[in-house]
Structure 1
Amino acid sequence: MPGFFISNRHSLSPRDKNQRVGYFISEICVSSYVQNMLTLAFNQLLFMKRILLTRLVLLGLVFILGACTSQKMYRSGMTSVEMGEYYRSAEKFRKAYRKDNNPQHRMEMAFQLAEAYRKLGDYGRASIWYKNAIRRNYPDPKAMLYCAECLRAYQNFEEAKIYYQQYLEQFPDDQQAQNGLAACTYVPEWEENPSRYIVAPVKELSSKFSDYSPAFIAGRDNELILSSMRESDISGKRTSAITGQHFGDLYRSEFQLQKQKWSEPELIDDSGIINTEEDEGAPAISPNGDLMVFTRCRFDKTKDLGASLFAARMSRGNWSEPVLLPLTSDSLVAAHPAFSPDGNTLYFTSNKSGGYGGYDIWMATREGSTFGKPVNLGKEINTPGDEMFPSVDWEGNLYFSSDYHPGMGGLDIFKATKDEDGKWTIENLQVPVNSSGDDFGMTFIHEENPRGLFSSNRKGSRSDDIYSFYLPPKVYRITGEIFDKETGQRIDGARVRVIATDGTNLRMRATDGKFQLKLNPETEYVFAAYRDGYLNDKIRENTIGLTDSKDFHVNLYLTPTDAPIKVENISYAFGAWELNEASKHSLDSVVQILETNPTITIELMSHTDHVGSDKFNFDLSQKRAQAAVDYLIERGINPDRLVAKGYGETWPKKITRELARQYDFLKRNDELTEEFINRLTPEQQEIAKSINRRTEFRVLSTDYHEKFTPETEK
């Protein structure tokens, strides 16, 4: 094409062109020199045009070839999407996106790149490409929902809220979006208040490739099998179009007591029986260790084989040839097996029909040497999202990962507990077990408190890494101090009696006024402190319903019996003796003291100030004291333990340490006589007189014992 174009341009010879130009110039009397110069310039112009046209043609060809290549790459990427090759589709779309200027293609590629990164667990990149697709008006609103989910998993909560809200404006009843929006609020609270689980990376089991789904052998804590995509003699350098990593194999590791670390993982089989050129992973070991069920992804160019479960038996240290478990058809997925504690139930993940959307958890019961028809665990466990990687602890509690149940984003680990009626209760394990990444593949050691391993690609991981977890037992401790209520000093030699609803009944000495005790869970306690010359004091504490360890601290105050004890907040109308509701409430504290100290008898004493006649004040104070005694009798206190006595103004108050701290014009042991009060300022006098108007009690004896008649006993 370029040669033909140039030959046509030469059909008119240079000489003929010069003759026409020379004729034109001679007509205007231009010199021959000028004619020669013009002729030369004209020839140079023709040459430059040829070069420019040639370059334009070459650029056009490059553009056409580039467009063809990018479109081919786009179509190839879409084929990889249809085959579920997430890693390979991302590679193809990245290359095509830079070269393909078709707006429709770029929009579709942005969405498919986001989908690939989301399914690979790279939520940061996924959110960037979702936003790109949305900006290009991608028609499916799901792009907004997935963008919000990835932003939340990437802990960009504020931006995630915006996309959730935009999506909910169109679909206000979408449960997944509602859960995600709520999570943007409670997940930061989880991070600030982590659970009792202790989580740590197990570096010796983790490589730069994906290491996941460890399984302890027979529940022992010193031997395990795990899945890994690290390079091996079997997997070679071949990589998966789905993950971009090597095909998975099963490895074995032992815990080295002397080094206190796991050994370097080694292939459990290098003969091609268990580990093959296909993809093996996610094992489960029966409770007695003689049967292993694992996932194998088979490949056949003629048909889709999906993922299947295979079973192999251990005999004399060697694994038998694996046998396919016919739990689903070939084109469906059966993966991530787990045994029940008795080994009679097999849990697994599948997308078989009859589920609730995505991948569900199913169970099959052992029937002889195989397993029966799978049963879906139901909508309490399974959701429209993905539920995967089931495992069971030694108490029979089910653990699984989900991207739909309310969580932190990505896959979270949940605990499911079944009650007596067969109803499941679902609990998110929260921080630090769960993270903003994918958390899955938990396995347990047979112990009272949950302990084991799980997989995560959380921040700080090189890929999917192995982490240890441990839930320490809940520990409840109480420390207490016993004080003299008057002096505020700790009382040495006091004793404490402890009574609890679990049958605890003990007495202990409080050394230097201090005591401590370990408490039992789900128990209510009463702590009573006592010492000769003091009224007893008691306090209640309980550990019922506590979900975390707790340290309690209590103070008990013993009141000396060698001085009157004021009953706070007893007040009357002027010249009256009827008790108001506030006074009755204050007398309830006296009821409590009498019940805590069942061997004491007391005298209720009422005092007035010096205003008024002596007789009036005596009569009024007696009626007030009797009113207080009558109320205590109404509350069930035996009359034999009570004496009412009115003292009028004859017993002025002596200032205590507490009153001296409260009023700076009074000193300890000042006696508020009429003479003393008259020396004070008018304002101070009113305070002093109010202190004298009081109700007190004093202990008369400490050896009272209730006498019961047959009628009382009846």
Structure 2
Amino acid sequence: MKRTYLAVISLSLVLLILGACSSQKYYRSGQLSYEIGEYYRATEKYRKAYRKDDNLQHKMEMAYHMAEAYRAIGEYGKAAIWYKNAIRRQHPDFKAVLHYADCLRATKKYEEAIEAYQQYLDSVPQDVQAINGLDACRYIQDWEDKPTRYVVNSVRELNSKYADYAPVFVGGRDNEILMTSTRENNVGKKENNITGEQFADIFRVEYQVQRQKWGAPKLIDESGLINTPDEEGAVTLSSSGDEMIFTRARYNKQEDLGAELYRVKMSRGDWSEPVKLELLGDSLIAAHPSLSANGDTLYFVSDKPGGFGGKDIWMSVRSGATFGTPVNLGAKINTPGDEVFPTIRSNGELYFSSNYHMGMGGLDIFKATRNEDGEWHIQNMKAPINSSGDDFGMAFIEGEETRGLFASNRKGSRSDDIYSFYLPPKIFRIAGEIYNKETSQRLDGARIRIIGTDGTNLKMRADDGKFQMKLNPETEYVFAAFKDGFLNDKGRESTIGLADSKDFRLDLYLTPTDAPIKIDNINYEFGSWELLPESVSALDSLVDILTLNPTITIELMAHTDFVGSEQFNFNLSQKRAQSVVDYLIQKGINPDRLVAKGYGETWPKKVTRTMAKQYEFLQRNDELTEEFINGLTPEQQEIAKALNRRTEFRVLSTDFHERFAPEVEE
């Protein structure tokens, strides 16, 4: 019995020692894979070591490294789990909290992400990445609720259960693309230790017009010239499609020798032997190329020393048959994070992805444009182009419409999938009606003139008082309505700076000239003809009326109530009318168009339809005489007297024309 007991103990010790040895082996191997960037392989080794290792220090370190590895390959949900594990075990690197928050944001757990960002900022208050992440959590919901006009759809015939990404249109046309894929029928059969997928190759796809869909992707070459047992990646083409620069990652017995750029040329339907571009010397990475439309400038991604951290975007200008010394695009574009997959459009716009600029999670696509001083202005493309996953690799079809393809591993994708995007044109419409201001009835027979800053100059009839038309973008319009026997009216609308389509509504009101027209809110000092400051707005509106109706002459009519002597009221009203005329002349109105006339208390106001609606004790066509007013209640009397104390005008003629004095030669 004792012997058996000792044997069991001995066996347990042996198994424990073997387990510890096995754990240490996997742990050390995982560390090595992690350090050389083999993130997928590192996670496999760490998981095995984690299950067998009882060392709490090791478990904490493995949890953190597994989280970092999963984050590096875009597995944000798994990364968040392991960051939480490492934080619970009190990992000393406080960056774990920041990266945990980033992964929570990428998995749409915004409330938890905000809490983690705030926890991190309590200790590192000026960290830009954390501030960007915190701000993003507060904006993302609005971006998703109010997406841009882009229409985004998965292109199912281009996608497999493996990674499909980096599409580029051949010659900028919409009928042929090159793309990168890790699908099963590729040349590179080995497994990528970074991503866990097979090595990628370059595929060619043609659009089948009759079937209105893309055909099956086919290897761009099967001879081993371009697609090799190594890994081929993102491609760029010259505008004619006869020159291609592509990424190749070479391996030696599974040792990563780094990514490099190669160039080939098309001649009589065949590609030439690839030639390596000597851009960076011994740098580990030169990838994700993009050629300018004229072929003179190459944009690419590198970890070349002298950058801002992580992977940066660089540019190199062609000099003869080679490209010159790379230049970093600067701190507006590049950050301490990773900036990857640049695309330079023929109009000079640069599109790229970043995991550091404020975004929705993972890699977001950004648009960069230069101002007149050559400085970059950065814009997040927002939803639906961006998502909480990785979004990258924009490719544009040349033409007036904005459309093309990009890649994403957003929710609903099987891996990295290719999506189409299309920006519908902005549509602006305006509709309105023209009314008789006094009766509120639509005016048939009115006409409208439309003048736009884009050169638009139209006249149209408003049938049954209605009008509508399509407006152009980035244009300011003036709409002027007119009809014989009425004062003109105008309105303004503008499409300048509008990001989305919009329907405008504009109603215009024409005032009939067969009766005096009251000008509201012209006030004077008590018992005086001095205009009060609050009258300026009303007076200026009268200036606008005269400017909009340049052929009319008017009589300015001032009225008083019956309080006071008749002569005093007459004199006061005459001086008040003249005060208004003097103001109009001061504002540039021709004196020949103006007549001042004071009527004192001799022309009581007749109640209009509008006044009858406003005051229940009045009826349309009631005349506010002294006798009528005295029959009202004291409160109603004060209202009626105030209605009699008015300034108005009536149109005397509609055929005035400015007479300009002839120029006198000196």
What range describes the TM-score normalised by the shorter chain of this pair?
over 0.9
Indicate if the aligned counterparts of 1:304 and 1:330 stay in contact, CA closer than 8 A.
Answer: no
Aligned with 1:292 (options 236, 244, 253)? 244
Distance (Å, rounded) in 2 between the aligned partners of 1:198 and 1:187: 18
Note if 1:117 corresponds to 2:70.
Answer: yes
Distance (Å, rounded) in 2 between the aligned partners of 1:621 and 1:368: 87
Which residue of the partner structure matches residue 234 of structure 1?
Answer: 187
Which residue of the partner structure matches residue 370 of structure 2?
Answer: 418
Which residue of the partner structure matches residue 56 of structure 2?
Answer: 103
Q: For residues 286-435 of structure 1, what are the structure 2 equivalents within 5 Å?
A: 286-301=238-253, 304-330=256-282, 332-435=284-387
Aligned residues: 666
Query: Aligned with 1:227: secondary structure?
Result: strand
Q: For residues 639-658 of structure 1, what are the structure 2 equivalents within 5 Å?
A: 639-658=591-610
Note if 1:169 corresponds to 2:122.
Answer: yes
Indicate if the aligned counterparts of 1:584 and 1:631 stay in contact, CA closer than 8 A.
Answer: no
Distance (Å, rounded) in 1 between the aligned partners of 2:298 and 2:660: 66
Q: For residues 56-135 of structure 1, what are the structure 2 equivalents within 5 Å?
A: 56-135=9-88
**1:553 partner letter:** R
Deviations 1:125-146 (A, max 9, x none): 2122112111211111221221
Which residue of the partner structure matches residue 492 of structure 2?
Answer: 540
Indicate if the aligned counterparts of 1:305 and 1:331 stay in contact, CA closer than 8 A.
Answer: no
Deviations 1:408-456 (A, max 9, x none): 2221111222234332222221221111111111111111333211111
Distance (Å, rounded) in 2 between the aligned partners of 1:102 and 1:664: 90
Q: For residues 206-605 of structure 1, what are the structure 2 equivalents within 5 Å?
A: 206-232=159-185, 234-236=187-189, 238-301=190-253, 304-330=256-282, 332-605=284-557
Which residue of the partner structure matches residue 137 of structure 2?
Answer: 184
Greater shift, 291-300 or 313-322, is seen at 313-322
Any unmatched runs of 5+ in structure 2? none
Q: 1:567 to 1:233 in 2, by over 3 A?
A: closer
Distance (Å, rounded) in 2 between the aligned partners of 1:712 and 1:150: 80
Shift of 1:334: 0.9
Note if 1:638 corresponds to 2:594.
Answer: no
Query: Aligned with 1:558: secondary structure?
Result: strand
Greater shift, 247-256 or 367-376, is seen at 367-376
Any unmatched runs of 5+ in structure 1? 1-46
Distance (Å, rounded) in 1 between the aligned partners of 2:341 and 2:298: 12
Distance (Å, rounded) in 2 between the aligned partners of 1:487 and 1:514: 16
TM-score by length of 2: 0.95
Shift of 1:179: 2.1
Distance (Å, rounded) in 2 between the aligned partners of 1:303 and 1:239: 12
Shift of 1:304: 4.6
Q: 1:281 to 1:233 in 2, by over 3 A?
A: closer
TM-score by length of 1: 0.89
Q: 1:713 to 1:408 in 2, by over 3 A?
A: farther
**1:62 partner letter:** L
Aligned with 1:137 (options 86, 90, 103)? 90
Shift of 1:584: 3.0
Indicate if the aligned counterparts of 2:249 and 2:256 stay in contact, CA closer than 8 A.
Answer: no
Q: 1:690 to 1:233 in 2, by over 3 A?
A: closer
**2:473 partner letter:** P
**2:560 partner letter:** T
* Root-mean-square deviation (Å): 2.2
Shift of 1:579: 1.0
Which residue of the partner structure matches residue 99 of structure 2?
Answer: 146
Shift of 1:58: 4.0
Greater shift, 662-671 or 530-539, is seen at 662-671
Distance (Å, rounded) in 2 between the aligned partners of 1:257 and 1:570: 71
Q: 1:415 to 1:698 in 2, by over 3 A?
A: same
Shift of 1:309: 1.2
**2:220 partner letter:** I
Q: 1:576 to 1:323 in 2, by over 3 A?
A: same
Higher Cα Rg: structure 1 or 2? Answer: 1
**1:478 partner letter:** I
**1:504 partner letter:** T
Distance (Å, rounded) in 2 between the aligned partners of 1:367 and 1:578: 78
Q: 1:396 to 1:630 in 2, by over 3 A?
A: closer
Distance (Å, rounded) in 1 between the aligned partners of 2:526 and 2:251: 99
Indicate if the aligned counterparts of 2:475 and 2:494 stay in contact, CA closer than 8 A.
Answer: yes
Aligned with 1:200 (options 136, 150, 153)? 153
Shift of 1:300: 0.9
Distance (Å, rounded) in 2 between the aligned partners of 1:157 and 1:111: 22
Indicate if the aligned counterparts of 1:87 and 1:120 stay in contact, CA closer than 8 A.
Answer: yes
Distance (Å, rounded) in 2 between the aligned partners of 1:302 and 1:156: 37
Deviations 1:70-94 (A, max 9, x none): 2222222112112211111112222
**1:562 partner letter:** D
Distance (Å, rounded) in 2 between the aligned partners of 1:283 and 1:341: 15
Greater shift, 144-153 or 216-225, is seen at 144-153
Indicate if the aligned counterparts of 2:243 and 2:263 stay in contact, CA closer than 8 A.
Answer: yes
Greater shift, 672-681 or 441-450, is seen at 672-681
Distance (Å, rounded) in 1 between the aligned partners of 2:451 and 2:368: 36
Greater shift, 245-254 or 628-637, is seen at 628-637
Distance (Å, rounded) in 1 between the aligned partners of 2:539 and 2:319: 72
**1:441 partner letter:** G
Shift of 1:460: 1.4
Shift of 1:507: 1.3
Greater shift, 592-601 or 318-327, is seen at 318-327
Query: Aligned with 1:112: secondary structure?
Result: helix
Deviations 1:287-333 (A, max 9, x none): 11111111111111396521111222222222233222222235511
Shift of 1:711: 6.5
Deviations 1:164-191 (A, max 9, x none): 2333333333222222222222232222
Indicate if the aligned counterparts of 2:104 and 2:110 stay in contact, CA closer than 8 A.
Answer: yes
Indicate if the aligned counterparts of 1:308 and 1:330 stay in contact, CA closer than 8 A.
Answer: no
Distance (Å, rounded) in 2 between the aligned partners of 1:512 and 1:445: 46
Indicate if the aligned counterparts of 2:186 and 2:219 stay in contact, CA closer than 8 A.
Answer: no
Deviations 1:615-649 (A, max 9, x none): 23222222222222222222222222112222222
